[in-house]
Amino acid sequence: MDAANYASLAALCQRVFAQPLRESMPECPAAVSAPWCLTLLTGQVREPSLQALQAFLDGQQWRVVGVDILACRAACCAIRLQLDSELAFDDARRALLALADGLDMELILQPGATQRTPQLACFDMDSTLIQAEVIDELAKIAGVGDQVAEITLSAMRGELDFQQSFRRRMGLLKGFTEASLADIAPRLPIMPGAPRLLRALRGLGCKTAILSGGFTYFANYLKDNHLAVDVIHANQLEFDGGALTGGVIDPIVDGARKAHLLQEIAEEMHLSLEQVVAVGDGANDLPMLALGALGIAFHAKPKVRAEAPQAIDGFELDAALYLFGLNDRQIEALLDDATQ
């Protein structure tokens, strides 16, 4: 963080939102007392965009009662506005999504009470913690990539029942060898920001879980080699003679099962759903995204982005930490502690 840039941004925010800000980032943001928080994420803050946002808020009679700059970096600026207003969440969320598209920023609305560290964070795996749909990668090697990819996309768009699509895809992978799986696992690209987010959550005492329609084989590899994960629930691969049978082992982890597992883990940990957050990208993640204090659609398909309570589109996965009420000074301190 550049101190001069921070001071300049603080002056700009103070001018536009008429709220006092310190000239340097404090150790921690102000306590949240308003009923709603609106987090602005952008690569570059532009005064006309802030003015347009303020005009929109005035038009809605959503009064800004506090401003905190959570991040001021070349790749990401995060500004949190506390809003004192009565609003209908779903209508407000949709209006802000439409507004953000025209302002070159992301606007994420959440109840003020959810600006806190969760006690349990549940993640989808494929296209959320890793930059791949594993079943598609297996299919490419097996020579059925186009067929499987089309089924996957239809399922993620919500056009096909997940269980039916999963059985169809697995049938196409019959004969794939276990030795080939071991070659693929180290090549899975980790989602940028995922290791930082999970390490920070562990430092905060938050338990983490993978709830995936992918495979335990790869989820366990990630847990053992890359990501600070506590619990894994995913689909098991069925082998015979060192090769996939093309069958499945029930129960399949689909959207309904993800939601059930989230609730089950929370109960086992004696947590209320207000202490849980979920992150995913596909239509089969929507049931769990609807359950917790926050349901964050990450780099999601349009249908999921439109329906999820919160969405992060153009930033790395660790941008979720700003929705937990943390600023960059706190995050860096957590990560420094984790490496000592």
Which residues have C-beta within 8 Å of that of residue 338, sequence separation ≥ 6? 199, 200, 202, 203
**Number of domains forming the structure of the chain:** 2
In the prediction, which pLDDT does 156 show?
Answer: 66
Q: Is residue 225 part of a domain?
A: yes
Q: Is the peptide bond before 20 cis (omega within 30 degrees of 0)?
A: no
Nearest to 205 by CA among 29, 296, 337, 320: 337
What is the residue-wise DSSP string for 20-74?
---SS--SSPPPP-SSEEEEEEESS--HHHHHHHHHHHHHHT-EEEEEEEEEE-S
Final residue of a structural domain among 114, 139, 158: 114
In the prediction, which pLDDT does 335 show?
Answer: 92
Residues 145 and 286 in one domain: yes
Nearest to 173 by CA among 188, 151, 153, 198: 151
User: For 123-144, what is each residue's pLDDT tens digit?
Assistant: 999 999 999 989 888 998 889 9
Dihedral (Cα; 172, 174, 175, 180), 10-degree rounding: 70
Final residue of a structural domain among 86, 114, 142: 114
In the prediction, which pLDDT does 333 show?
Answer: 92
Give the chain's length. 340
Q: For residue 66, what is the domain's CATH number?
A: 3.30.70.260
What single DSSP character describes residue 185?
G
- Sign of the CA dihedral with 221 first, then 222, 223, and 226 last: positive
In the prediction, which pLDDT does 208 show?
Answer: 98
Gap between the Cα atoms of 319 and 326, Å rounded: 10
What single DSSP character describes residue 318?
G
Read off the tokens for 173: 């992978």
Q: Tell me which residue range forms the domain holding 103.
A: 3-114
Residues 133 and 76 in one domain: no
In the prediction, which pLDDT does 340 show?
Answer: 52
Q: Is residue 321 part of a domain?
A: no
Q: Is residue 331 part of a domain?
A: no
What residues of the chain score a pLDDT lower than 50?
A: none
Residues 277 and 223 in one domain: yes
CB 17 within 8 A of CB 81: yes
Q: Which residues are catalytic?
A: 124, 126
Read off the tokens for 314: 């153009």
Residues 76 and 129 in one domain: no
Nearest to 109 by CA among 289, 309, 248: 309
User: For 80-98, what is each residue's pLDDT tens digit?
Assistant: 999 999 999 999 999 999 9
Gap between the Cα atoms of 72 and 180, Å rounded: 44
